Amino acid sequence: MSEPLKITIPDIGDFESVDVIEVLVAPGGAVQAEDPLITLESDKATMDVPSPAAGCITEVMVAVGDKVSQGSLVVLLDPTEMDVTDLATVEAIPQAQPTQTVATPAIETAPQPALSPAGSETIAQPPVQPMAPPDTLPPPLEDGGELPHASPAVRRFARELGVDLSQISGNGARGRILQDDVRQFVKATLTRPTSNSEPTGDSGIPPMPEIDFSRWGPIDSKPISRIQRLSGRYLHRAWLNIPHVTHHDDVDITELESFRQSLKHDKAHSGTRITILSFLMRAVVSALKAYPTFNASLSPDGESLILKQYFHIGVAVDTDNGLVVPVVRDVDSKGIVQLAEELAEISARARDGKLKLDEMQGGCMSISSLGGIGGTAFTPIVNAPEVAILGVTRSRMTPVWNATEFQPRLMLPLDLSYDHRVIDGAQAARFMAFLSAALKDARRLLL
């Protein structure tokens, strides 16, 4: 029998204590290389942890609701086909001599990093599912109510705090109640006013009242997607914590559009769909270099700015499940055609739900374009920890006075939202003036 292997969580970027929302394997099950073992959910996205080798699962070390980080043990694997070229997340477990000690099933506690077993028996035993001790079983509900969806560890944690789980809405997979949900419920309860003042929700904001809309006619209910739930929390937090200001402007792109159209007839680039977004990305990088305050993030204590020396641009992509913002890296070192090709590729993977976590991190500034849909202006929400975001709507032909006559010019509406703690109105106006000049004359993008 081959030595069991430790399969651990690979590098998942800057994320710590990521929720396990689904376990896709069981002891005794066979997997192939790259088969998913578990699914993780961060505040921004979900990802599968694949098996780096083929084999048989001997033990699963995590459960739904656990929190894991890079290096956390996931499963023990008996390999049948091992790819020796990639052992980044696999670690051999040395065989130990059999002893007379009989291991007893461990009582489930709050999620902790799984411990490695002392050894492995040479004779395979059928997997045994330990029964939960009596004190971990939840009390029966009265009136035939449904049991709240939570693990025994979360139920025990709630009982210790005197919390009724039926009053909590779970944020885990399929509405599962997590320990963080219990903590947030306790915090909200402790801060809730006890006098005759109006009850408030998070951040002291009065909650929206519950309304029975069926009183006025037929209704239907449709759950929002996971991406919408996650992005909604981020947007709500950004809106509450960042003092937003939006600067609106129109940019003359008549010559730029003429140049872009000419590229369609260029045989060297005829197979690439070049949109105005590629030019916008290069123009934004030029403006970030001229005004480095925009290429920064505010420190957590609010006492200093973290100035970035790289130029990664996030681009909002509309998908069937909601808005995602993949990041195109090192835009300053890429040409217009290369950016167009990379945008097409990363946008397609975003719509197919195949983006990796690190592909949505590390942006310096984001661009949200509604040009393909319409509109004249809007207020994009800053994608924290960035300090600014550029909104784009559909260009339109407009008569512009040139001191002697009106001329038809193609004008592109731009909307710059920024964090007023870092950027003031004069800086925003200068940034937009620089951006406008760069787009008006495409040759400036080469500087």
Cα–Cα distance measured from residue 51 to residue 72, given in angstroms and rounded to the nearest whole number? 14
Q: Cβ–Cβ contacts within 10 Å for residue 325, how many? A: 24
Catalytic-role residue among 149, 244, 248, 420: 420
> ∠165-169-173 over CA atoms, to 5°?
105
Residue bearing tokens 């976590």: 357
Burial class (CB in 10 A: 0-12, 13-18, 19+), 388: buried
Beta carbons of 40 and 92 less than 8 angstroms apart: no
Q: Is 420 a catalytic residue?
A: yes
User: Which DSSP state fits 421?
Assistant: T
Instruction: List the one residue out of 159, 149, 164, 157 whose CA is nearest residue 64.
Output: 149
Q: Which residues pair with 441 in a beta bridge?
A: none
Query: Could you tell me the CA-to-CA distances from 313 to 129, 214, 277, 363, 364 in Å, in that order?
Result: 49, 45, 11, 5, 6
Our CA angle for 79, 81, 84, nearest 5°, is 95
Q: State the DSSP code for 212.
A: -
Strand pairing class (244-252; 406-419): antiparallel
Q: Which residues are catalytic?
A: 420
